[in-house]
C-alpha cells in the first residue's frame, strides 16, 4: 500500500473535523506505531510532547525537548504515516516568532495538525507549572502560527487548560482563540459533561479534548453532539512498549519480575526525580 501524501492526510484530518462524529487518537511515537495504528483502523494519531520527551531524552514533560528534536521525531513518523498525525507543539517553543518557526518545521515534517497551548512554558522562577500566559500573548501566537502556515489544510488547534480556569475565563479564552482564526479548540481538564456543555455552547469550531480516559466523558455520541471531534485518552501504547521492553530484557538476564506497572517503570527509568529536585532547588517551581 502506497503511503498517502502529506496534503491528502491533512485533507483526511479536515474531513474528521468537518464530520459529526468523535474520534479517539492512537498514541503514535515512532514510524512503526503510526503504521500499526493505521492498519488497525485508527483514523488519527498523535505525537504527544510528553511521549516525545521520554522517547528522545528519557526526560519528563518539563519542556526540555527542543524544537529540532521534536520535529525530527515528527518527520520520522510523517515520512511513512498512513493516517493523519497531530503534533503536540506545546507552547510553540517560545514566543510568537518561535511559534512561526515551529509551524514551518512541523509542516515540513508532514503533520496534519498541531496543538498550540497557552501554558507558561518553560515554567518561570516561583511560578506554578500550570500557569497560563496572558490572553493577548496567546492570541498573538495563534495569529503568528496562521501567518507561518503554507498549506492551509494543516490545522492549527489552540489549546487551553479548562481545569485551571473558571468557566467564565475558559469561555473568554476559547472565544478569543476562535475569533483569532484557530481551526479548532483543544481543552484539557474538562471534568464532566456539565463542564463541557457550559463551554461548548459558546464554540462553533471543532473541539478536541485531552480526557485521559475520564469515565465522566465516555459517551462518544454525547461528545460528538457537543462538537467534540477528537479525544486523546492518554498514551497507553507507549507505556506498554516500555513495559514490554523491560520484561523482555529482564527475562534475558533472568532477573526477578518487578511489581512496578508500566507508568511506574517509566518514572523509574526516566530522569523525572532528578529534574523535579533541580526545579525545586533552582527555580522554586510549585507543582
CATH code, domain carrying 72: 3.20.20.60
Q: Is the pLDDT of residue 57 over 70?
A: yes
- When pLDDT is cut at 50, 70 and 90, the band that residue 286 belongs to is low
Ranges of beta strands (E only) in the chain are 23-24, 26-27, 45-47, 85-88, 113-117, 155-161, 184-188, 207-210, 228-232
Task: Look at strands 113-117 and 155-161 and give their pairing.
Answer: parallel
- pLDDT tens for 221-240 read 999 999 999 999 999 999 99
Q: What is the DSSP letter of 150?
A: S
Would you state the pLDDT for residue 37? 98
User: How many domains does the chain fold into?
Assistant: 1
| Model confidence, pTM | 0.95
Q: Is the pLDDT of residue 250 over 90?
A: yes
Q: Is 131 helix (H, G, I), strand (E, B) or coil?
A: coil
CA dist 132 and 165 (Å) reads 9
- pLDDT tens for 10-29 read 999 999 999 999 999 999 99
- When pLDDT is cut at 50, 70 and 90, the band that residue 2 belongs to is confident
CB 126: neighbour CB atoms within 10 A? Answer: 9
In degrees and rounded to multiples of 5, residue 117 shows phi and psi of: -100, 160
Would you state the pLDDT for residue 276? 86
Please indicate, yes or no, if residue 228 is contained in any of the structural domains.
Answer: yes
Give the number of residues written for the chain: 287
Q: Is the pLDDT of residue 129 over 80?
A: no
Q: Give the domain extent around 104.
A: 6-235
CA dist 131 and 123 (Å) reads 8
- When pLDDT is cut at 50, 70 and 90, the band that residue 283 belongs to is confident
Please indicate, yes or no, if residue 272 is contained in any of the structural domains.
Answer: no
Please indicate, yes or no, if residue 257 is contained in any of the structural domains.
Answer: no
Q: Is 172 helix (H, G, I), strand (E, B) or coil?
A: helix
Q: Could you tell me if 147 and 140 are in contact, meaning their C-beta atoms sit under 8 angstroms apart? A: no
Query: If we measure between CA atoms, which residue out of 172, 169, 215, 175 comes closest to residue 193?
Result: 215
Please indicate, yes or no, if residue 268 is contained in any of the structural domains.
Answer: no
Residue owning grid cell 512561526: 100
Amino acid at each position: 500500500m502506497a503511503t498517502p501524501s502529506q496534503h491528502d492526510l491533512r485533507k483526511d484530518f479536515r474531513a474528521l473535523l468537518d464530520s459529526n462524529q468523535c474520534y479517539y487518537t492512537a498514541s503514535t511515537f515512532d514510524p512503526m506505531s503510526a503504521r500499526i495504528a493505521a492498519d488497525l483502523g485508527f483514523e488519527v494519531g498523535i505525537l504527544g510532547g510528553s511521549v516525545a520527551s521520554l522517547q528522545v531524552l528519557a526526560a519528563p514533560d518539563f519542556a526540555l525537548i527542543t524544537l529540532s528534536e521534536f520535529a525530527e521525531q515528527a518527520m520520522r513518523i510523517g515520512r511513512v504515516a498512513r493516517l493523519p498525525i497531530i503534533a503536540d507543539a506545546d507552547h510553540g517553543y517560545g514566543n510568537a516568532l518561535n511559534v512561526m518557526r515551529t509551524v514551518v518545521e512541523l509542516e515540513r515534517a508532514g503533520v496534519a495538525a498541531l496543538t498550540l497551548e497557552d501554558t507558561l512554558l518553560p515554567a518561570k522562577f516561583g511560578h506554578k507549572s500550570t500557569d497560563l500566559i496572558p490572553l493577548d500573548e496567546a492570541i498573538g501566537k495563534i495569529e503568528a502560527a496562521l501567518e507561518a502556515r503554507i498549506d492551509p489544510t494543516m490545522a492549527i488547534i489552540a489549546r487551553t487548560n479548562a481545569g485551571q480556569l473558571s468557566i467564565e475565563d475558559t469561555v473568554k479564552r476559547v472565544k478569543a482563540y476562535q475569533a483569532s482564526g484557530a481551526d479548532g479548540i483543544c481543552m484539557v481538564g474538562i471534568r464532566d459533561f456539565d463542564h463541557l456543555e457550559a463551554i461548548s455552547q459558546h464554540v462553533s469550531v471543532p473541539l478536541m479534548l485531552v480526557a485521559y480516559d475520564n469515565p465522566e466523558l465516555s459517551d462518544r455520541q454525547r461528545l460528538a453532539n457537543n462538537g467534540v471531534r477528537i479525544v486523546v485518552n492518554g498514551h497507553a501504547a507507549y507505556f506498554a512498549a516500555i513495559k514490554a521492553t523491560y520484561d523482555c530484557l529482564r527475562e534475558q538476564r533472568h532477573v526477578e519480575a518487578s511489581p512496578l506497572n508500566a507508568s511506574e517503570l517509566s518514572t523509574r527509568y526516566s530522569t523525572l526525580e532528578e529534574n523535579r529536585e533541580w526545579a525545586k532547588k533552582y527555580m522554586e517551581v510549585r507543582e
